[in-house]
Amino acid sequence: MKLVFCSHVFYLLLYCGTRTLGVEIQSEPDVNSDGVIQIELNQTVSLLCLSNGGSEAQADEELVWLRNGVMVKLKEGNNKGRSSVCVTPVIYGDNGATFTCQLRTNATVMSSVTLNVTYRPQLSGAEELTVEDDSVLVLRCDIWANPPVSSVSWTLNGSALDLLAGGFTVTNDGYTSQLTVKSVEKSSHEGSYKCRVHSPIYGEGNKFFHVTVTEKTMKFPLIPIIAGVVVVCLTALLAVVSRWKTIAKCFK
């Protein structure tokens, strides 16, 4: 996020103000009646603060900007009677951020706006997965969005999942929808999966998973074999050592 000076010409565009005695904030995009500005992720918010008390003395009052109570550093000259701030690009961390403009000499003369940053769930493309028969299958679908998605559904080969009959488990923590199969069977679980979500403002989004189930392979018991070889070698070595004198006489 960057806070930068905005050209005064920009503020000839449409705006809406929230007012308190002596200070007014104008914004692009518009601010609603609750003092909230709805803006999409990676877009730009432009704010202009004006002292509007009607007297020449107040017109020259020094203005201060705060973001969530922390003072914003302004360029020289961008604080007398009018002051502008741009948030560009808007990031996830700006969601819920409150910008306040106030008089330096009287903090009770102030006005505030709050950002509501909207963003869609990050769903795209397809994943190719290969799992062995009787192993665990885990598919994850990112559903984090603002506003939250209104629905999440999973399908296999175009049909809704039968959770009980298919041995599927679906969990949702608001960030990720996870589909789990504890014991994969080729006949039941191989195929094309789709995670489908619906956003109140962004519509439908999908992610695809293509799962191939292979035969279970016998795992080579490497550690037991190594242990067995070591035992055999040590036994043979001890046998040689214990009969060394007898063996040595054979070579005299």
Per-residue pLDDT averaged across 56-75, rounded? Answer: 86
Per-residue pLDDT averaged across 37-60, rounded? Answer: 81
Residue 228 has pLDDT above 60, yes or no: yes
Per-residue pLDDT averaged across 194-208, rounded? Answer: 95
- Retrieve residue 4's tokens: 């930068």
Global pTM exceeds 0.85: no
Q: Measured between alpha carbons, how far is 27 from 48 in angstroms, rounded to an integer?
A: 6
* Helix ranges (DSSP H) in 34-182: 56-59, 163-166
3-state secondary structure of 242: helix
Full DSSP string of 200-235: TTTEEEEEEEEEEEEPPPPPP-HHHHHHHHHHHHHH
Q: Which CATH class is domain 126-214?
A: mainly beta
Over pLDDT 90: what percentage of the chain?
67
Residue 69 has pLDDT above 80, yes or no: yes
Outline which parts of the chain fall under CATH 2.60.40.10: 2-118, 126-214
Confidence of residue 191 (pLDDT cuts 50, 70, 90): very high
pLDDT at 95: 97
Over pLDDT 70: what percentage of the chain?
75
Residue 252 has pLDDT above 60, yes or no: no
Q: What secondary structure letter does DSSP report for 28?
A: E
The chain-wide mean pLDDT, for the chain, equals: 84
* Helix ranges (DSSP H) in the chain: 56-59, 163-166, 186-189, 222-242, 244-249
What's the CATH superfamily of 2-118?
Answer: Immunoglobulins (2.60.40.10)
Give the least confident one: 71-80, 112-121, 151-160, 224-233.
224-233
Residue 232 has pLDDT above 70, yes or no: no
pLDDT at 142: 95
| Residue pair 80/60 in contact by the 8 Å Cβ criterion | yes
Residue 12 has pLDDT above 50, yes or no: no
Per-residue pLDDT averaged across 145-157, rounded? Answer: 96
Residue 14 has pLDDT above 70, yes or no: no
Residue 43 has pLDDT above 50, yes or no: yes
Per-residue pLDDT averaged across 75-86, rounded? Answer: 93
pLDDT at 107: 93
| Residue pair 105/28 in contact by the 8 Å Cβ criterion | no
CA atoms within 13 A on the CB side of 128: 0
